[in-house]
Amino acid sequence: MKLFLVRHAKAYSRARWKEDDALRPLTPAGDLQSEAIATAIAEEHPQRLISSPAVRCIQTLEPLAHATGLRIERDARLAEGATLDGAALLLASLGDQPTVLCGHGDLLPVLVASVDAEGVRPDAIDCEKGSFWRIESVNGRGRRATYWLPRDTSGAPSEQVGGPRARRLAVLDLGSSSFHLLVADAEPGGTIHRVGRERVMLRLGALISDEGKIPRAAADTAVETVEQMSEDAREAGAGRVIAVATAALRDASNGREVVQRLSEALGERVRMLSGEEEARLIFRAIGQRLALGDERALGIDLGGGSLEIAAGARGDVRWERSLPIGSVRLHQELGRDDPLTDTQRAAITARVREALSPLGERVERFAPDRTVAIGGTVRALYRLANALDEDEHRIPLDASLLRTEVDALVQRLAGSSHAQRRRMRGMSARRADLLPTGALIVQEIFRSLGLREVAVCDWGLREGALLEAIARR
């Protein structure tokens, strides 16, 4: 279940509008709010848009309809003065399709209160014009509701445009596989609303020379990429750009020199994360995203250059490890052939097993209530297992990957050529060359750590960096 309950954006006042109230349109400020709503919801890939017949509600959804290609359905059960009974029947008819409902201030708070969801206080439900409630299922354990505040249209500074308490921030994740930009509105309580994302696959980890250096040409490309992403972030209204560097830049013999060039290009210091710092930021993100609470959790992040593992509970990391067995690194060192040979497959598995062997007993003693995996490789495997297109389907909150599914994927990918993988339903085109190696690594993680199932989370290092930034303010 995924619902967006939207209150229409700012409209002209009833006193000024002398015609039929149902025809009362949005103000210019309301138009800005409707654009902000479209930006916030479009990437969630809604399947239906349903509106009150009032013009102000329809106009609120029009930018979202344009962005998604969906038509706006009109339903009188969302009209001003409609009853909860009628709206409840509408909700019951929706099934599991991600749906956006747009209505009025008299009905929506009552409708939100009727949905049994964590995060809702029935005695104090905000529902400002141009705001929405996001309600979705969480791991089959109930529902969670989060409230998105309307865009400030009064000329507030850029760091305040996501709502009265929100800051618009950007994170630049300078990784071994890709450079990734995330622009988001982040609120002090840990709510994050994505505004935009950008990814450039640089594969720095695969370009490191035999001397352990990042070649000059690759560094030049990295600098150009950071300059462009920095410009994109500021054009999107980010008041601050947070840049973090991970395994490839951390491990390269000239990594600090390259990071200095990247800092100069950005105009901000690029923070070189240790493996332990990276693991702690990731654990913070998954704890917030999946509402882990008191659960003992094991967090796993398979990146291009390294594997980060962290264990903890109640937001406290008990221990963490960073291991040099990332998918790009092992592909470059052990698995360059296409398809992989039996010898290469055995070598990749052996390297991962050797690195993880000291941790199996420790994980068993820790006895996590839940294990959560993040990273592009794990998400790509989840999409492939479920035949989900990367551009059309976001990872749901209750996503999980089974050991049996990974075993089946390894067999499916074994012996396949790059061209054959590109034709597989759900295959990420950017990862088609790396996924056989990545699948072998994930398979051995399951085996060595005694795992049967992992939750797949769509938050990670970038969101962890945002959460740390707003907590320090």
SS (H, E, C) 120-154: CCCCCCCCCCCCEEEEEECCCCCEEEEEECCCCCC
Distance CA 391, CA 368 (A): 33
Q: Which CATH number fits domain 290-462: 3.90.1150.10, 3.40.50.300, 3.30.420.150, 3.40.50.2000?
A: 3.30.420.150
Pairwise CA distance, residues 278 & 174, whole Å:
12
Fold: same for 2-148 and 290-462 = no
What H or E segment, with its residue span, contains residue 48?
strand 48-51
DSSP 70: P
Cβ neighbors of 303 (< 8 A, separation 6 or more) are 175, 176, 177, 246, 247, 326, 327, 375, 376
What pLDDT, on the 0 to 100 scale, is given for residue 165?
61
For residue 293, the model assigns a pLDDT of: 81
Query: In this predicted structure, what is the pLDDT of residue 210?
Result: 77
Alpha helices in 93-215 (DSSP H): 108-114, 204-207
The CATH code belonging to domain 158-272 is: 3.30.420.40
The pLDDT of residue 235: 80
Any residues with CB less than 8 A from the CB of 127 and at least 6 apart, and which?
7, 105, 108, 109, 112, 133
CATH level 2 (architecture), domain 2-148 = 3-Layer(aba) Sandwich (3.40)
Going residue by residue through the chain (473 aa), what tens digit of pLDDT does each one get? 789 999 999 888 887 777 888 999 988 778 888 988 998 898 888 999 999 999 999 999 999 999 999 999 999 999 999 999 999 999 989 988 899 999 999 999 999 988 887 767 776 687 889 999 988 887 666 788 888 876 544 433 333 334 446 788 999 999 988 999 998 888 877 888 777 788 888 989 888 877 889 999 999 999 999 999 998 888 878 889 999 999 889 999 999 999 999 999 999 999 999 988 988 999 999 988 888 888 999 999 999 999 999 999 877 889 999 999 999 999 999 998 999 999 999 999 999 999 999 999 999 999 999 999 999 999 999 999 999 887 667 788 889 999 999 999 999 998 899 999 999 999 988 899 999 999 999 999 999 999 999 999 999 999 999 999 988 76
CA distance 19 to 79: 17
Contact yes or no for 293/314 (Cβ under 8 A): yes
User: What is the model's pLDDT at position 157?
Assistant: 33
pLDDT at site 117: 77
pTM of the model: 0.71
- Cα(189)–Cα(166) distance, integer angstroms: 10
Output the pLDDT for position 197: 81
Domain boundaries, the chain: 2-148, 158-272, 290-462
Angle at 314 between CA 308 and CA 320, to 5 degrees: 20
